[in-house]
Amino acid sequence: SDWDKLLTRIELLPKLGQEPGQWYRLLKPVLTRFVRTFDSPESSEIKDFWQNIAHYHSGGSGPTYLSGWITAFCFWDWKGGCLFRPRCGAHLTVLDGVQYHRVDTNDVPPGSVSVPVKLNDNGKEYDTIMVAGSVGIKATSSRGIFTALDTVQPESGWWMYEKKKE
């Protein structure tokens, strides 16, 4: 499967340096459970895994935090700075002995990227921006007992737009 291939490919990350190596240690337990989900969807371990994706922690008058294994996907901020900070204390998720960090909700990186593109349309050039990534959610029916829209799933996409002349 694609998840098995991805699990194999991340084995290269530790060879790329300290930060990619730490990211690998966070990703491996998560991606391993993604694969196990298809093999044993009814196992209590897998159900517990999916029920503990993220936890929200109010900071009162201070910052709020996100914790759980979802923070494996919040390793770098939008500028490339490392968000991983080992912590101890309550409300921390541990998978296979790996402790997941918490992230200030203001520091959660965006799920999309943009890049300038010079578009040539039969000799006419346009300065454009291409945007790609997680662009929203789609509501669907699980086709279970109810026919209503009872399920949401991420929606990925990309688009281009022309930069306005300044």
Model confidence band, residue 91 (pLDDT cutoffs 50, 70, 90)? low
**Segment 45-61, tens digit of pLDDT:** 999 999 999 998 887 88
Among the three residues 107, 130, 145, which one is the final residue of a domain in this structure? Answer: 107
Residue 166 has pLDDT above 80, yes or no: no
| pLDDT number for residue 57 | 85
* Count of structural domains, the chain: 2
Most confident range (mean pLDDT) of 76-80, 96-100, 136-140 is 96-100
Closest by alpha carbon to 53, among 30, 27, 77? Answer: 30
Instruction: Indicate whether 143 and 89 sit together in one domain.
Output: no
The parent domain of residue 96 ranges over: 2-107
| pLDDT number for residue 33 | 96
Can you tell me the mean pLDDT for 108-129? 94
Closest by alpha carbon to 83, among 97, 67, 98? Answer: 67
Instruction: Indicate whether 51 and 23 sit together in one domain.
Output: yes
Instruction: Indicate whether 27 and 87 sit together in one domain.
Output: yes
**Segment 121-132, tens digit of pLDDT:** 999 999 999 999
DSSP string for residues in 77-98: -TTS-B------SSS--EETTE
